[in-house]
């Protein structure tokens, strides 16, 4: 472990976010938004099958968090993972091709939407079982601790996963052994169709580590700058050897749980209100323009650039062949 410094306050004075960083946030969030919309459309055309969980509405969480990390830190999340992959710097073409089950997808078409990985980008999935990524992410933190390499694990989970038993088994061990893990709870208010208050005895999820001595903080997950600041402080806390920390990001998903969502468990007004009043991208756009950081024209350039990236990814996925039949038998076991 890096030299054990004295505990840093969880909330240091907010560092300035440079104009360049703000513009990058806008680009990254918009890329996720447009990518996900296109994924929804490709699903509609039958080019993407099975389960497909879109991240639309939650973009500020992963973009603000990832920008707070160091290269070498490790990331793991659940099945609503497309945004995380893009924010980790994975190639949109490879992600979209995997969604379409094609040869040049990140998993050669064998993983699909919920199971994608990138060793190069330290992205450890993409896990389809609710909560299962939490012990795994804790194990990533264990490996950093064991190797004393100064890196940290960022383990994302949803408000649905927070009631899984293995999450608390993980919290206990992470705190007991002072593992460098930031647990990011993406509270989008619904676990599938069940609202947090119908599933959780206490709805302030950042308290969930209290029994294990893990500090927690609630963050406006629709504000990328707030997320970023919280992420920097949390990363510093765990990197200094103080043990894990929990960040509860209050966010919202605009789309259904998956593509076959009956949309009966919440009102349209609720969705529209969040969209019109709290959209993370609109919010940042306004901030950029009001602050004189970017002009309307400059942002349109970004939009065009993003549209081209997404169009290219979609075309790549559609043009890419299915995996060869031989691929059925590969990668079950490694050569001993």
Partner 1 sequence: MSSEVLMPALSPTMTEGKIARWVKSEGDSVRAGDVLAEIETDKATMEVEAVDEGILARIVIPEGTDHVAVNTPIAVIAANGEEVPEPAARPAAKPPPPEPRREPPRDTGRAGNGAAPPASVALPISEPEYAGKTVTQTVREALRDAIAEEMRRDADVLLIGEEVAEYQGAYKVSQGLLQEFGARRVIDTPITEHGFAGLGIGAAMAGLKPIVEFMTFNFAMQAMDQLINSAAKTRYMSGGQMSCPIVFRGPNGIAARVAAQHSQCYASWYAHVPGLKVVAPYTGADHKGLLKSAIRDPNPVVFLEHELVYGESFAVPDDPEFLVPIGKARIARAGDQVTITAFSRMVKLALEAADELAKAGISAEIVDLRSLRPFDIATVVASVKKTNRIVSVEEGWPFAGIGAEIAAIVMEQCFDWLDAPLRRVSGKDVPLPYAANLERLATPQVDDIVAAAREVAYR
Subset of residues 44 to 73 that bind partner 1, contact rule: CB under 8 A: 44-46, 49-50
Query: Which is nearest to 159 in space by CA: 231, 253, 230, 227?
Result: 253
**CB within 8 Å of 320: residues ≥ 6 apart:** 97, 100, 102, 103, 104, 105
Contact 208, 216 (CB under 8 A): yes
Establish if 326 lies at the interface with partner 1 (CB under 8 A).
Answer: yes
- State which of positions 122-141 bind partner 1 (CB under 8 A): 124-129, 132, 134-141
- Report helix, strand or coil for 154: strand
Residues 177, 138: Cα–Cα separation, whole Å:
11
55: tokens are 């991240």
> Could you give the C-alpha distances from 148 to 1, 122, 305, in angstroms and in order?
4, 17, 40
Q: Which residue has the tokens 């705190």?
A: 175
**Stretch binding partner 1 (CB under 8 A), from 13-21, 84-92, 187-195, 320-328:** 320-328
Query: Does residue 107 touch partner 1 according to CB under 8 A?
Result: yes
If binding is defined by CB under 8 A, does position 158 make contact with partner 1? no
Q: Does 303 bind partner 1 (CB under 8 A)?
A: yes
Query: CB-wise, 13 or 333, nearer to partner 1?
Result: 333
Task: Give the phi and the psi of residue 126 in degrees, each rounded to 5.
Answer: 60, 65
Write out the binding residues for partner 1, residues 190-249 only, by CB under 8 A.
none
In this structure, are strands 153-158 and 123-126 parallel, antiparallel, or unpaired?
A: unpaired
Among 27, 108, 207, 287, binds partner 1 (CB under 8 A): 108
* Residues 80-99 interacting with partner 1 (rule: CB under 8 A): none
Number of shown-chain residues binding partner 1 (CB under 8 A): 75
Site string for partner 1, 251-290 (x = CB under 8 A): ----xx--xxxxx---------------------------
Binding test (CB under 8 A) with partner 1, winner from 142, 183, 190, 206: 142
Between the CA of residue 270 and those of 189, 197, 252, 282, what are the distances in Å? 11, 16, 10, 17
Q: Is 77 in the site for partner 1 (CB under 8 A)?
A: no
173 binds partner 1 (CB under 8 A): yes
Give yes or no for residue 76 binding partner 1 (CB under 8 A): yes
Q: How far is the CB of 120 from partner 1 (least distance, A)?
A: 9
Residue 124 or 206 with smaller CB distance to partner 1:
124
């Amino acid at each position: 472990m890096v030299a054990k410094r004295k505990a840093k306050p969880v909330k240091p004075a907010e560092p300035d976010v440079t104009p360049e960083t703000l513009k990058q946030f806008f680009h990254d969030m918009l890329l996720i938004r447009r990518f996900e919309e296109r994924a929804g459309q490709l699903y509609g055309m039958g080019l993407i099958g099975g389960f497909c969980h879109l991240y639309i509405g939650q973009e500020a969480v992963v973009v603000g968090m990832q920008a707070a990390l160091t290269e070498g830190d490790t990331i793991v999340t659940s099945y609503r993972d497309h945004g995380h992959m893009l924010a980790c710097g994975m190639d949109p073409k490879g992600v979209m091709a995997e969604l379409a089950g094609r040869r040049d997808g990140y998993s050669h078409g064998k993983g699909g939407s919920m199971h994608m990985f990138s060793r190069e980008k330290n992205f450890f999935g993409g896990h389809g079982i609710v909560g299962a990524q939490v012990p795994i992410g804790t194990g990533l933190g264990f490996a950093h601790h064991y190797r004393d390499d100064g890196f940290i694990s960022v383990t994302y989970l949803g408000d649905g996963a927070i009631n899984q038993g293995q999450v608390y088994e993980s919290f206990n061990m992470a705190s007991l052994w002072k593992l460098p893990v930031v647990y990011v709870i993406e509270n989008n208010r619904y676990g599938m169709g069940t609202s947090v208050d119908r599933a959780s005895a206490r709805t302030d999820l950042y308290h969930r580590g209290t029994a294990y001595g893990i500090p927690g903080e609630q963050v406006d997950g629709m504000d990328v700058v707030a997320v970023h600041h919280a992420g920097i402080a949390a990363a510093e806390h765990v990197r200094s050897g103080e043990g894990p920390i929990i960040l509860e990001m209050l966010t919202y998903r605009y789309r259904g749980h998956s593509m076959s969502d009956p949309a009966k468990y919440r009102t349209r007004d609720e969705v529209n209100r969040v969209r019109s009043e709290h959209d993370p991208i609109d919010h940042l756009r306004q901030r950029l323009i009001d602050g004189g950081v970017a002009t309307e024209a400059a942002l349109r350039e970004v939009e065009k650039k993003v549209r081209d990236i997404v169009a290219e990814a979609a075309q790549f996925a559609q043009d890419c062949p299915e995996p060869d039949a031989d691929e059925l038998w590969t990668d079950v076991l490694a050569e001993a």
